[in-house]
Structure 1
Amino acid sequence: MDIFEAIKTRRSIGLVSEEPVSKELIEKIIEAGTWAPSHYRTEPWKFFVLTGDSRIRLGKTLATIEARQMEDPTSESSQKKLSKIEEKPFRAPLIITVAVEPSDNPRALIQEEHGAVYAAIQNMLLAAHALGLAGYWRTGKPAYTPEMKKLFNLSENGEILGFLYFGHPKRPVPPGKRKQFDEATTWLTSESDFDNL
């Protein structure tokens, strides 16, 4: 698939089958992530492949985080909600959790370490699409909690930056829509152009 076609046709799709994703495809997706740029070649990414019953632990952790915010987690309605949250990791047969573990290189800025991992995530989403898979990128408040750091044994400075849900699509990729690039673009050709920003 041409790179421009992949960029323009990739969509976030959650409707996938239970058919497992082969190890060969998973490795291609992760390898694509490792070719993202990183300042000072720190390569600050970590990948965790969740399949099968390993997703149970993620579901339980998500439910624990949610229960902490509930007024009465033991109520019937709360228990139903928590049960649904525990099932979330089973929406796809594969989850690749992507984390940043910042380098100890004193020249590497934390924002740039995060940026490198975000670039890796985009590479992975595009690679999965090019391989005929569907998927989407999830984060949210639970991703940044101490419980999640502990689950994936991250350092104090480490962070989960994405849960990438992947599977074989159940339907064709729908067309997308974006605003025209010129709406977000300013062309600067002389020093004085900055005065008009």
Structure 2
Amino acid sequence: MDVFEAIKSRRSNGLVSDKPVPKEIIDKILEAGTWAPSHFKTEPWKFFVLTGEGRLALGKVLAEIAKRDMENPLSETNQKKLEKICEKPLRAPVVMTVAVEPNLKSEKVIIQEEYGAVYAAIQNMLLAAHALGLGGYWRTGKPTYDPLMKELFGLSEKGEVLGFLYFGYTKREMAAGKRRPYEEVTKWLTSNSDFDEL
């Protein structure tokens, strides 16, 4: 698949089957992540691949985090909600947790750039999965950045989970995407006077 075709045709697709994804495909996705650019070659990414029962620990932590916002977590309604939350990671046969471990050994390293490198790795992984015939989506949200999540994956104090990539074989084709034309968000600056118009 041509890279421009992959960029334009990739869609977030959460409706996937439970058919196992071969390890060699998972390996290719992980390797694609490691080819993202990182300033000073810090390579600040960490990947955790959850399959089978390995996904249950994530569901358990998601439920623990959700409990905090519940007035009565033991009520029948909330117990059902917590059960559903526990099952969320089972929606796809492969869940990849992607985290940043900032490499701040040098004063030149800027923490925002460490995060940027990992976000670039995530995009590489999403595109690779799409090119390999998988559907997937990138999940984030408040629980992603909770200290319990950091603890689950054994991250340092400066480390942070930046998202969960759910991958599997799709059950449906996605409609073509739509974006604003790039001309609407682009300004060409070819002389000093162009800056006066900004």
Query: TM-score band, normalised by the shorter chain?
Result: over 0.9
1:69: how far off? 1.2
2:131 matched residue in structure 1: 130
1:62 matched residue in structure 2: 62
In percent, how many aligned pairs have the same letter? 70
Aligned length: 197
The 4+ residue runs of structure 1 with deviation greater than 6 A are none
Map residues 104-183 of structure 1 onto 2, 5 A cutoff: 104=104, 105-183=106-184
Distance 2:88 2:163 in 1: 15
Distance 1:183 1:147 in 2: 41
Distance 1:172 1:70 in 2: 37
SS of the aligned residue for 1:165 comes to strand
Distance 2:6 2:50 in 1: 25
TM-score by length of 1: 0.99
Distance 2:142 2:75 in 1: 23
2:6 matched residue in structure 1: 6
Distance 2:61 2:15 in 1: 23
SS of the aligned residue for 1:74 comes to coil
1:48 matched residue in structure 2: 48
| Residue type of the alignment partner of 1:86 | C
| Residue type of the alignment partner of 1:164 | L
1:15 matched residue in structure 2: 15
Give the gaps of 5 or more residues in structure 1. none
Distance 2:9 2:174 in 1: 8
SS of the aligned residue for 1:162 comes to strand
SS of the aligned residue for 1:84 comes to helix
1:174: how far off? 2.0
1:84-140 deviations in Å (ceiling 9; x for gaps): 100100000000100000002221101000000000000000000000000000010
1:125-178 deviations in Å (ceiling 9; x for gaps): 000000000000001000101100000000000000110000001112321111
Distance 1:15 1:196 in 2: 46
| Residue type of the alignment partner of 1:177 | K
Distance 1:48 1:192 in 2: 50
Distance 1:172 1:140 in 2: 26
Which one is further off, 167-176 or 21-30? Answer: 167-176
2:102 matched residue in structure 1: 102
Distance 1:109 1:13 in 2: 33
| Residue type of the alignment partner of 1:184 | V
Give the gaps of 5 or more residues in structure 2. none
